[in-house]
Amino acid sequence: MEPDRKALIGHTFTPCRCVLDEENVRDFRGVVGEHHRALATAGGARLDGYERRVIPPSYAPLIALSSLLRTIDWEKDFALDYSTGTSMFGEQEMVYLRPLYVGETLSIVGTVLDVVEKRGKRPFDLVSIAVSATDVAGAEAFRGSMGFVLFK
């Protein structure tokens, strides 16, 4: 019997705490080659009008996805049996509400927005998840959505 994932619409996953630590940000910058002065030093960030060092904008989608994946139990939450089913990451969209800073802690949470059933060679569901990141003061830092394809 194929799982009915439409019942998951509105389900909110447990928030995931994410620290934007120095080592991970430095490693990421080295991989993507972002070397702007606001990313490199506190002095460079102040020269560009930031209160402290910022992280590369391309880092937020990575932390959003990795945080969300730590909170999802694919078998329990989506009735996805990896022996017979497959999942694929579809798309991601982010809106930044302010710069993200090295050393800050964010709470990232996802909520299932929609599940659309499709049929192709194999039946599958398109799952849309809203994601939001808030800082320790409760202010939203970014928000967006992610899409997953879950084959039945």
> What residues make up the domain containing 99?
5-21+55-151
Between CA 87 and CA 150 the distance in angstroms is 4
DSSP annotation of 7 reads: G
Per-residue pLDDT, 57 = 86
Is 95 part of a structural domain of the chain?
A: yes
DSSP state of 55: P
Show pLDDT as tens, one digit a residue, over the chain (152 residues).
667 889 899 999 999 999 999 888 888 888 888 888 998 889 999 999 999 999 998 899 999 999 999 998 888 888 887 777 788 888 899 999 999 999 999 999 999 999 999 988 888 899 999 999 999 999 999 999 999 998 88
CATH number (domain holding residue 90): 3.10.129.10
38 in any annotated domain: no
Is there a domain that residue 48 lies in? no
CA-to-CA distance for 39 and 89, rounded, in angstroms?
28
- State both tokens at 17: 């705490």
Instruction: Report if residue 36 sits inside a domain.
Output: no
What pLDDT is stored for residue 2 in this prediction? 66
